[in-house]
Structure 1
Amino acid sequence: MTPNARVALSAVGLVAFMGAMSFAAVPFYDWFCRVTGFGGTTSVSDGTGIEPTDQTVIVRFEAFTERGMPWQFRPVQRSMTVRIGETNLAFYEAHNPTDRPVAGQASFNVVPYAAGGYFSKIQCFCFTEQVLQPGETVQMPVSFYVDPAILDDPDGRGVREITLGYTFYEIDLPPEQAQAALARPVAEVPEGL
Structure 2
Amino acid sequence: MPSGNRNKGVALALGVLAVGMVGLAFAAVPLYQMFCSVTGYGGTTQVAEANPKGVIAREMTVRFDSNVDKTLPWTVKPASPITDKIGTVDTVTYVATNNSDKPITGQAIFNVAPDLAGVYFNKIECFCFTEQTLQPGETVEMPIVFFVDPDLADDRDLATVKDITLSYTFYASDSEGS
Same-fold status (TM-score > 0.5) = yes
**Do 2:113 and 2:164's aligned partners in 1 also have CA atoms closer than 8 Å?**
yes
Distance 1:91 1:123 in 2: 11
**Do 1:64 and 1:74's aligned partners in 2 also have CA atoms closer than 8 Å?**
no
Aligned-residue offset at 1:154: 1.6
What is the correspondence of 1:1-20 to structure 2 with a 5 Å cutoff? 2-20=5-23
Distance 1:161 1:34 in 2: 21
2:53 is aligned with 1:69? no
Aligned-residue offset at 1:18: 0.5
2:54 is aligned with 1:51? yes
Stretches of structure 2 that go unaligned for 5 or more consecutive residues are none
What is the correspondence of 1:1-193 to structure 2 with a 5 Å cutoff? 2-77=5-80, 79-174=81-176
Distance 1:152 1:43 in 2: 17
Q: What secondary structure sits across from 1:21 in the alignment?
A: helix
Q: What secondary structure sits across from 1:58 in the alignment?
A: strand
Distance 2:67 2:174 in 1: 19
Distance 2:174 2:96 in 1: 17
- Bigger Rg, which one: 1
Question: Which amino acid counterpart does residue 44 of structure 1 have in structure 2?
Answer: V
Structure-2 change in CA distance of 1:122 and 1:170 (3 Å): same
Q: What secondary structure sits across from 1:14 in the alignment?
A: helix
Aligned-residue offset at 1:72: 0.7
Aligned-residue offset at 1:68: 1.0
Question: Which amino acid counterpart does residue 140 of structure 1 have in structure 2?
Answer: M
Structure 1-normalised TM-score?
Answer: 0.87
Aligned-residue offset at 1:50: 2.7
Distance 1:162 1:145 in 2: 11
Q: What secondary structure sits across from 1:117 in the alignment?
A: helix
**Do 2:51 and 2:89's aligned partners in 1 also have CA atoms closer than 8 Å?**
no
Aligned-residue offset at 1:157: 2.8
Structure 2-normalised TM-score?
Answer: 0.94
Stretches of structure 1 that go unaligned for 5 or more consecutive residues are 179-193
Aligned-residue offset at 1:29: 0.6
Aligned-residue offset at 1:166: 0.3
Structure-2 change in CA distance of 1:151 and 1:76 (3 Å): closer
Aligned-residue offset at 1:86: 0.4
Distance 1:157 1:130 in 2: 37
| Alignment RMSD | 1.3
Q: What secondary structure sits across from 1:46 in the alignment?
A: coil
Q: How many residues matched?
A: 175
Question: Which amino acid counterpart does residue 133 of structure 1 have in structure 2?
Answer: Q
- Identical-pair percentage: 46
